[in-house]
Chain A
Amino acid sequence: MLDALINAFTPFNLALALIGVFLGTIIGALPGLSATMAVAVLVPFTFTLDPASGLIALGAVYTGAIYGGAYAAILVNTPGTPAAIATALDGFPMAKRGDGDLAVTMSCFASAVGGVIGALFLLVLAPPLATIALRFGPVEYFWLAIFGLSLIAVLSKGATLKGLIGGFIGLGLSTIGSAVVGGDVRYTFDSPALLGGIHIIPALIGLYCIPVLLNMVGTRDPHIERASAGKGSRIGDAIGLMWRSKFNLIRSSVVGTVIGILPAAGGAVAGLVAYSEARRTSSHKEDFGKGAPDGVIASESANSATVGGGFVPTLVLGIPGTPPDAIILGGLMVQGIRVGPQLFTEQASTVYTFIFGLLIATVIMVPVGLLIGRTAFKTISSIPKSALAPAIGALIMIGSYAVEQNPNHVVMMVILGAFAWGAARYGFEPSPVVLGLILGPIAEQGFVQGYLIGNASGNLFAEFFGRPISLGIIFVIALTLLWPLWAERRARSKVDVLND
C-alpha cells in the first residue's frame, strides 16, 4: 500500500488532482452545471490516461464538483446534484440575509471533513462494506425509499399538506416513461421524447433554478445581500461554529458514507437523512430551514462523504452509488478495469493509488474551495441582476443539454421550472417534488421486485416484514415519524406541570 501512496504523490497525479478539483469546483459552482455533467463531459479525456491517473482525475473533478455544488446551492438555490438539496434548504436563506460568505466557508470545511471520512472508509473497509450493499435487496430498497419519502413529511413542518402533495406530484412524475417493471408505457402521450421519463438533472435544475431566475426579475431587491461582516471569508467564525457542532459533523459524515454505500439511493438520501437527524437532535430546530448553520454543516459533510461511500459499490460491485459514479464506472470499463472485490487484491496498486489521490484531492479542496468560494460569493452578490439573469440562463441551457446531449431535456427543464414557479406562488416547495421524483422509481422497483420474489417463495409477508435489515429501516421510519409527536407531548406535559 505504501508504494500506492507514493504513486499518488507523483507530480503528474498531483497536478491532475489539483486541476481536477479546481475545474470541478468551478463547474459545480456554476448554477445549472452539475457534478454529473462535469464528469460526463470529462470522461472521454481520461481514456488516454493510465487507469489510476484517469481515476484520480475523475475523482478529483467529482469531489470538486460536489463542493462547488454547495456554492450554487447556497448562492443561487440550485443544488448541483441531488446530494446538495439539503444544503440549499439552509444555505440559501443564510445567503439572503448576508451570511453567504459564512455559509460558503463552512460548507468548504464541512465538505473536507466529510470527504476525508468517506475516503478513509473506502480505503480501509471497502470490501466488507460492499457486503452490506449486497445484503440490500429489493425490499430493503423499498423501505429505504419509503423512509426518504417519510422525511418529506417531517421536513415540511409547517406546510405538511403541501409538502406531501409535492411528494405525490414527484411520485407521479417519476412514473412517466417506460416502466422497468410492468413494461407499460405510462403518461407519454405517445411521444418518444418522454419515453425515457424525466431525467433527474434537468428536473433538478428546472425545479430549483428557474423559479429563482424568475423571481430575480420579479423584484427590485438585489439577489443576495453582500457580506454583512467585514472583509475576509470569516474563517474564524466558520471554524468556531464547526467546533461547536463537531458531533453533528462526525455523525453526518458517517451517515453520508454509510448511505452513500447503498447504490442508487446514495447521494440524495444521505444528505437528507443527515440533515433531518441534525434537526431532530438540535436544541433549536425552528432555525432549520431559515438559515441554521448546523443544517449546512450536516448536509455538506454528508454529501461529500457520499463521494467516498459511493465508490464502494461502484468499485466492488460494479453498481454505481451515485449518478456520477455511473459515468465513472463506464470510463473504468472502457479502460478494461474489471470491477469486483478482486479489484482490491489483483489491481490493488491502481485502486489504492486512486483512493490516496482522492484523499489528496479532498484536502486540496480546502484552499482551492475557499478561494473559489470567496470569488463566487463576491461575484454573485455584486453582479447586477441584468447580467446575472442572462448568464444563468445560458448556463442552465447548456447544463441541462450536456448531460445526455438531448435537446428535449432543455424543454423539460423549462416546463418543470414553469410549474415549480407557479406552484411556489401558492406555497409549494420544490424539494418534496424532487424527492418524489428520485425516490419514486426506487420505491416502485423495490416493491414490485420484492412482491414478485415474495410471491415466488410463497411467503409475501415474510419477504416484506421478515428481513432483519428491513425491520431496522421500518423501525427508523416509525421513529422519525413518531418522535416529533412524542417530543411535543412531552414538552406540553412539562408546561402543564409548570402551570399547576
Chain B
Amino acid sequence: MTMTRRDFGKGVLGLSVGAAALGAPTILRASAYPDRAVNYIVAYNPGGESDVTARMQQRYFKDIAGQSLVIVNKPGAGGATAWAQLNGFDPDGYTIMGTIVPHIILQPAMKKVGYQTDDIDVVYFFHYTPDAIVVKADSPYRTLNDLIEDTKARPGAVTFGGSGINSANHLASEIFADMTGAITTYIPFKGSAPTITAVLGGQVAAAMSYTTQGVKAGEQVRTLAVATEERVSALPDAPTFKELGFDYVGGAYRGVAVPKNTPDDVRSSLSEIIGQINKNADFQAQMNAAGYQVVDVAMPDVPAFIEERRAAYAPAIKRLRDA
C-alpha cells in the first residue's frame, strides 16, 4: 500500500514529537539547575568554621533549590589539598567547594601548593569571620591599649598565638604590627583550638584569632578588639578596631567555588541560590549568634573583591616572604 500524504504527515509528526520528547529532558535539565544532589566539598574537618557554616547553608539550600547538599570533608594541608583538586571535578555545578580568602591568596604566594589563586573560580563570598584579639579573662590587659603599651615597653616579649604559619592569623598579626607599631612574637599553633587553649593556660599572652573563637570560649576570655565596621552582636563588650582608632576591617572571607569552565548559567544559578540563603532571616540569626558576619559578594563582584584583597595583603605578604 502506498503511503498517503496523511500517513506521511502523521509519521513526521510522530517522529518529531518523539524526538522532542527525547530532547526535552536535556533542555529542561539545562535550565533547571540543580536537578539532583550537589556535592559540597569542605576543605577542613567537621566542626571548623568552614564546615559549620556549610552545614548551616545545607538546611536552607534544600528549601530554596529543592535538592540536597551533600557535605564531603576533604581536609589536608590547610585546605590546599582540596583546592588543588578543584579543577579536576566535572564543571557541571554538581561539585562545589568552600574556599577562604586570604588562604587562597596567601598559600600560592608563599609556596608551591598545587594551585594558583586565579585557578579558583569563586561565585559568591557569603560571610566572614572577623579577626579578633583575645586574652585570658583574668589577663592584666583590660583594653587593647594596655596590650599596645606593653609591647612598646617590652618589644618582642608579648607573645601572640595564632593558627598556622603564613596563615590568616599570622597575616593579621603582621597587619596589626604595621598598624600599631607593636612588636610581638608570633607563636604558631596547629589550629584555633590549641591557640585558645594556650591563651587559657597562660602559655601565650594573647591570641590573634576570630570572633567565633571568642564567642566559643565565652566567659573564659576577654576579646580586646574585633575587626568589623560595627560591634559584633555576639560580643557586645568588644570594641571594634575602628572605635579604637585603627582602620582595620577584615578576617577570613568564606565563599563557594566551582571548577573552571562551569557554564555561566549554572554559575549564576548557584550564585543566586547562595544569595537567597544569605537573605533568609533565620540563617542570618544563626550566623550572627555564633559570631559570623554575613556578607554578600555576588558573582559579578568577585573578581574586583579578590583584587582588592590582594592589594590589601600585599605589603604584609612581602614582609612574610622576605623574612
**Could you mark each residue 158-170 of chain B with 1 if its beta carbon is under 8 Å from any beta carbon of chain A, else 0?**
1100001110000
Bound complex: CA of A2 vs CA of B124, how far in Å?
49
Nearest residue, chain A, Cβ from B219: A342
Nearest residue, chain A, Cβ from B192: A318
Q: Check if A195 is an interface residue, CB within 8 A of chain B.
A: yes
- Residues of A contacting B218 in the complex (Cβ-Cβ under 8 angstroms): 338, 340, 342
Choose among B114, B190, B204 the residue that contacts A195 (Cβ–Cβ < 8 A): B114
Q: Check if B156 is an interface residue, CB within 8 A of chain A.
A: yes
- Residues of B contacting A341 in the complex (Cβ-Cβ under 8 angstroms): 220
Choose among B74, B113, B204, B217 the residue that contacts A340 (Cβ–Cβ < 8 A): B217
Bound complex: CA of A180 vs CA of B167, how far in Å?
10
Instruction: For the complex formed, measure the closest distance between the CB of B88 and the CB atoms of chain A, giving whole angstroms.
Output: 11
Nearest residue, chain A, Cβ from B190: A180
Which parts of B136-180 form the interface with A (CB within 8 Å)? Answer: 156-159, 164-166
**Could you mark each residue 99-125 of chain A with 1 if its beta carbon is under 8 Å from any beta carbon of chain B, else 0?**
000000000000000000000000000
Instruction: For the complex formed, measure the closest distance between the CB of A415 and the CB atoms of chain B, giving whole angstroms.
Output: 18
Instruction: For the complex formed, measure the closest distance between the CB of A423 and the CB atoms of chain B, giving whole angstroms.
Output: 27
Nearest residue, chain A, Cβ from B166: A183
Q: Check if A135 is an interface residue, CB within 8 A of chain B.
A: yes
Bound complex: CA of A329 vs CA of B46, how far in Å?
8
B45–A327 touching, CB < 8 Å: yes
Q: Check if B110 is an interface residue, CB within 8 A of chain A.
A: yes
Of A366-374, A450-458, A480-488, the one contacting chain B is A450-458
- Residues of A contacting B312 in the complex (Cβ-Cβ under 8 angstroms): none
B197–A456 touching, CB < 8 Å: no
- Residues of A contacting B113 in the complex (Cβ-Cβ under 8 angstroms): 192, 195
Choose among B47, B71, B194, B217 the residue that contacts A333 (Cβ–Cβ < 8 A): B47
Which parts of A418-467 form the interface with B (CB within 8 Å)? Answer: 445, 449, 452-453, 455-458
**Could you mark each residue 167-195 of chain A with 1 if its beta carbon is under 8 Å from any beta carbon of chain B, else 0?**
00000000001111111110000101001
- Residues of B contacting A457 in the complex (Cβ-Cβ under 8 angstroms): 157, 159
A192–B84 touching, CB < 8 Å: yes
Choose among B45, B76, B188 the residue that contacts A196 (Cβ–Cβ < 8 A): B76
Q: Check if B187 is an interface residue, CB within 8 A of chain A.
A: yes
Nearest residue, chain B, Cβ from A346: B218
Bound complex: CA of A138 vs CA of B204, how far in Å?
10
B111–A178 touching, CB < 8 Å: yes
Q: Check if B134 is an interface residue, CB within 8 A of chain A.
A: no
- Residues of B contacting A404 in the complex (Cβ-Cβ under 8 angstroms): 73-76
Q: Is the interface of B mostly helix, strand, loop or mixed?
A: mixed
Bound complex: CA of A342 vs CA of B216, how far in Å?
11
Q: Check if A98 is an interface residue, CB within 8 A of chain B.
A: no
**Could you mark each residue 49-81 of chain B with 1 if its beta carbon is under 8 Å from any beta carbon of chain A, else 0?**
001100100000000000000011111111011
- Residues of A contacting B112 in the complex (Cβ-Cβ under 8 angstroms): 185, 190
A458–B216 touching, CB < 8 Å: no
Nearest residue, chain A, Cβ from B165: A183
Bound complex: CA of A183 vs CA of B321, how far in Å?
11
Instruction: For the complex formed, measure the closest distance between the CB of B258 and the CB atoms of chain A, giving whole angstroms.
Output: 19
Bound complex: CA of A340 vs CA of B213, how far in Å?
12
Q: Check if B276 is an interface residue, CB within 8 A of chain A.
A: no
**Could you mark each residue 194-208 of chain B with 1 if its beta carbon is under 8 Å from any beta carbon of chain A, else 0?**
101110110110000
Q: Check if B185 is an interface residue, CB within 8 A of chain A.
A: yes
**Could you mark each residue 277-298 of chain B with 1 if its beta carbon is under 8 Å from any beta carbon of chain A, else 0?**
0000000000000000000000
Q: Check if A347 is an interface residue, CB within 8 A of chain B.
A: no
Nearest residue, chain B, Cβ from A190: B112
Bound complex: CA of A440 vs CA of B65, how far in Å?
47
A185–B164 touching, CB < 8 Å: no
B111–A183 touching, CB < 8 Å: yes
- Residues of A contacting B159 in the complex (Cβ-Cβ under 8 angstroms): 452-453, 456-457
Bound complex: CA of A177 vs CA of B71, how far in Å?
26
- Residues of A contacting B55 in the complex (Cβ-Cβ under 8 angstroms): 47, 334
Bound complex: CA of A418 vs CA of B172, how far in Å?
44
B185–A456 touching, CB < 8 Å: yes
Instruction: For the complex formed, measure the closest distance between the CB of A452 and the CB atoms of chain B, giving whole angstroms.
Output: 5
Interface residue total, chain A, C-beta cutoff 8 A: 50
Nearest residue, chain B, Cβ from A331: B46
Q: Check if B193 is an interface residue, CB within 8 A of chain A.
A: yes
Tell whether A180 pairs with B157 under 8 Å between CB atoms, given A192-B81, A195-B76, A449-B189: no
B81–A195 touching, CB < 8 Å: yes
Nearest residue, chain A, Cβ from B78: A178
Bound complex: CA of A40 vs CA of B76, how far in Å?
15
Choose among A179, A190, A330 the residue that contacts B45 (Cβ–Cβ < 8 A): A330
Among B48, B110, B217, the one with the most A-chain Cβ atoms within 10 Å of its Cβ is B217
**Could you mark each residue 17-48 of chain A with 1 if its beta carbon is under 8 Å from any beta carbon of chain B, else 0?**
00000000000000000000000000110010
B197–A329 touching, CB < 8 Å: no
A137–B201 touching, CB < 8 Å: yes
B78–A456 touching, CB < 8 Å: no
Instruction: For the complex formed, measure the closest distance between the CB of B142 and the CB atoms of chain A, giving whole angstroms.
Output: 21
Tell whether A453 pairs with B81 under 8 Å between CB atoms, given A181-B188, A192-B113, A445-B190: no
Q: Check if A155 is an interface residue, CB within 8 A of chain B.
A: no
A180–B185 touching, CB < 8 Å: no
A318–B188 touching, CB < 8 Å: no
Bound complex: CA of A326 vs CA of B191, how far in Å?
12
- Residues of B contacting A405 in the complex (Cβ-Cβ under 8 angstroms): 72-74
A192–B193 touching, CB < 8 Å: no
Q: Check if A9 is an interface residue, CB within 8 A of chain B.
A: no
A449–B81 touching, CB < 8 Å: no
Q: Check if A161 is an interface residue, CB within 8 A of chain B.
A: no
Bound complex: CA of A490 vs CA of B110, how far in Å?
58
**Could you mark each residue 303-327 of chain A with 1 if its beta carbon is under 8 Å from any beta carbon of chain B, else 0?**
0000000000000011100000011
**B residues lining the A interface (CB < 8 Å):** 45-48, 51-52, 55, 71-78, 80-81, 84, 110-114, 156-159, 164-166, 185-190, 193-194, 196-198, 200-201, 203-204, 216-220
Closest 10 CB pairs of A and B: A330-B46, A330-B47, A192-B114, A333-B47, A196-B76, A134-B201, A137-B203, A195-B77, A456-B185, A196-B77
Identify 5 new A-B residue pairs, CB closer than 8 A, beyond the known A134-B197, A333-B52, A457-B157: A47-B55, A183-B111, A195-B113, A338-B216, A406-B74
Would you give 5 A-B contacts (Cβ < 8 Å), ordered by A? A137-B201, A180-B165, A196-B76, A332-B47, A340-B220
